[in-house]
Chains A and B, each alone.
Chain A
Amino acid sequence: MKPVPRPHDLLWGFIPEQLPTTAPQWAFAAVASGEPVVVRRAEGKPGVVAVGIRGHGREERFGTWMALDRIVRSLSPEQLVSAIKSYPADLPALKALIWAKPCLDATGLVWGVTGSAGFQLATGIRTLHADSDLDLLMRAPAPLSRSQALALLNKLDKAPCRLDIQLETPQGGIALREWAQSSHRVLLKRASGACLVTDPWHLVEIAA
């Protein structure tokens, strides 16, 4: 059995016929050229996964659904890490990625590349700009304390561009930066929607 796609995985095999007729023209163009779609965090019917299509414009994002049996290939954020070496680091986000790698490896956590940088590493299509942030994901199956989060962030904030790091707990995704700060509750993104929680690893309360 194929593994179930997880948020931020890139999937190949989406065909234009799967798009609703209401989809924008650029979405048809992106899919027709064989570009991968990105797994979104949303609950769907059995047999389908929520995906997003990236256009080439900054605000071009289209959310739709993909049948699981259409997937011909997938890449997870962590699988993209090995592509870093072979990629020319000509932009701040890629320089930051090379710079941050030893620090991220040292955490012992599984981590990967998402967002524009991940898309570019996977496809070779230039989606990053000189002012792009670097989006990363870290898998945190066990709790990471707020002081650990702050210590990690303090190291990583010396990177050549701004890092936007999502911690993936068994319950959903939180921003490392928010977890490292002092707010009483943090925003947890789940397939069922976002909610504010005090402990993103153990949901005793769903406050939304």
Chain B
Amino acid sequence: METLKFEFPAGQSPRGRALVGGVGSGDLEVLLEPGEAGMLRLNVVTSVNGSAARWQNLFERMFREQTPPALNIEIHDFGATPGVVRLRLEQGLEELQLEGAFHD
């Protein structure tokens, strides 16, 4: 078990929260909650040791393409592949948007 923390520049804080994924092996659970404006904080608890650089690379690639919203993201990883991590993050952001649309 390893706990890793990451920070990235972000936009505005969205409303609502979202929980996607699951705790089965090869999957991950992602909880997204509104964060401090301008800041994206990720807290990763992973069953795979020595994976800090891999997470850093994955997040950098994802958030370089598009500025993320200001969130606190809690990740519980159970050995998911980078492809699955990316899909789960995208899914979480999508769920937040859908929830935002519902509130508007």
Contacts and interface: CB of A to CB of B under 8 A. Distances in A.
Contacts of B27: 175, 187
Interface stretch (B6-14, B63-71, B86-94): B86-94
Contacts of A166: 24
A112 to B, nearest CB: 16
Interface stretch (A13-21, A77-85, A94-102, A189-197): A189-197
A199 interface: no
Interface in B17-55: 20-25, 27, 47-49
B79 interface: yes
A146 interface: no
A88 to B, nearest CB: 25
Given A59-B48, A59-B79, A196-B91, A187 B84 contact: yes
A183 B83 CA distance: 19
B95 interface: yes
A5 to B, nearest CB: 19
B92 to A, nearest CB: 9
Contact of B84 (A58, A135, A194): A194
A162 B20 CA distance: 18
A140 B48 CA distance: 32
Interface string A24-37: 00000000000000
B4 interface: no
A164 B22 CA distance: 9
B98 interface: yes
Contacts of A175: 22, 24, 27
A168 to B, nearest CB: 14
B100 to A, nearest CB: 13
B95 A196 contact: no
A164 B98 CA distance: 27
A8 to B, nearest CB: 12
Interface of A: 58-59, 61, 115, 133, 135, 162, 164, 166, 175, 177-178, 183-185, 187, 193-196, 208
Interface of B: 20-25, 27, 47-49, 79, 81, 83-84, 87-88, 90-91, 94-95, 98
6 contacts: A59-B48, A164-B22, A164-B23, A178-B22, A187-B27, A196-B90
